[in-house]
Chains A and B, each alone.
Chain A
């Protein structure tokens, strides 16, 4: 069963002159939507902090060489309202992460989906759910 809960509708309310900072930074300024990457590795740390939650990952290649990656997502408040807690982000688990790479070439990406070993998924993303394929 799919359950769609709309708790939005607050953008108008926050567009007032001195509403608290509407946003942190432009995703466009840091990440490339055309550079998707799938990272398979072990979650070594979850930084449950503002302004963005970070998930750190050790990714091992075919030769056993480990590369460290950081994957960032929405603020903790957004995740919390979505039912997530930090312990649900896979610390210590092997996961597959779909994300979009940082423009500066760092081992940094913006999260879209975490898929866990048992098959369950957390998609934390952007968009209008009524416009899946515009």
Chain B
């Protein structure tokens, strides 16, 4: 038997892809599934706050391995037939269309737009994540899993096997913290919303693949809100060095993995080997 499998497309060539399978779409069936999940009761911790604990990634069904000797066909979805000689070009074109249609871009100062464009045009040589560096906060987006306990919330990200520990005991930022990719975070509750305040973020990371750089003065406030079996992540990014005003990132809503036995899988290591062989400026 030959299986034809069209894999979850957005993960293509992505070094780790947190929270893919349960991510709700902006409309259509995803929105309906999100609404149904949100209508369920919201569990609460002993302190009365919503309990964010759960696996917010992965598929409901465990991944089945093929049997030895079994044929298969795995297609990454591209809007053209597998034998179309334009298939590589089509991938780039489709990705550029999506990026051009993106309505929510960071509000860079006008004098920095040329730099953003230059970085974007040469992203294959400039994007830190391309060469296996971390995505960092906030580009890493919402967590794949949350473990909430009194005084501490642990965020786990499948991509690059990343963790963050967020104290909720009322402490202030660590004045002695060094600048890092995920920064120094403290958490607090604002009603039913968990708010994470992060500073001390290195300027080495980007906010997106379009050359969206930032300074080490960046300040990020993330919000996690659980409604039923949905978790909505949003973030406000303020960087007075490069932005004209704070940037509200596009929120994302995840659904709880319905399989109570599902576990977060280890992300294989990242070893970039393509850079030396890239000979044109074509990019997604």
Contacts and interface: CB of A to CB of B under 8 A. Distances in A.
Interface stretch (B48-56, B184-192, B270-278): B270-278
Size range of the chain A interface in the assembly: 35 or more
Q: State the main secondary structure of chain B at its contact with A.
A: loop
B277 A127 contact: no
A23 B68 CA distance: 30
A102 B277 contact: yes
B277 A104 contact: yes
Interface in B17-65: 17-18, 20-21, 23-27, 29-30, 59, 63-65
A3 B95 contact: no
Contacts of B70: 83, 120
Contact of B102 (A15, A79, A106): A15
A104 B279 contact: yes
Nearest to A113: B73
Contacts of B212: 18
Interface in B246-284: 249-250, 252, 265, 267-275, 277-284
Nearest to A12: B25
B171 interface: no
A31 B81 contact: no
Interface stretch (A37-45, A59-67, A68-76): A68-76
Contact of A106 (B8, B23, B77, B277): B277
Given A25-B130, A102-B277, A120-B70, A75 B75 contact: no
B203 to A, nearest CB: 16
A20 B18 contact: yes
B25 A9 contact: yes
B140 interface: yes
A123 to B, nearest CB: 4
B266 to A, nearest CB: 10
A125 B284 contact: no
Interface in B74-98: 74-89, 91-92, 95, 98
A74 B277 contact: no
Nearest to B73: A123
Interface in A80-134: 80-85, 88, 102-104, 106, 108, 116, 118, 120-129, 131-134
Contacts of A126: 75-78, 82, 87, 91
Contacts of B24: 13
B76 A29 contact: no
Given A9-B25, A16-B250, A21-B14, A29 B59 contact: no
B187 to A, nearest CB: 20
A24 B130 contact: yes
Interface stretch (B110-118, B131-139, B174-182): B131-139
Contacts of A21: 14-15, 127, 129-130, 135, 139, 209
Contact of A88 (B68, B85, B89, B279): B68
Interface of B: 1-18, 20-21, 23-27, 29-30, 59, 63-66, 68-89, 91-92, 95, 98-99, 101-102, 104-105, 124, 127, 129-130, 132, 135, 138-141, 159, 207-209, 212, 235, 249-250, 252, 265, 267-275, 277-284
5 contacts: A22-B98, A50-B270, A120-B70, A132-B83, A134-B80
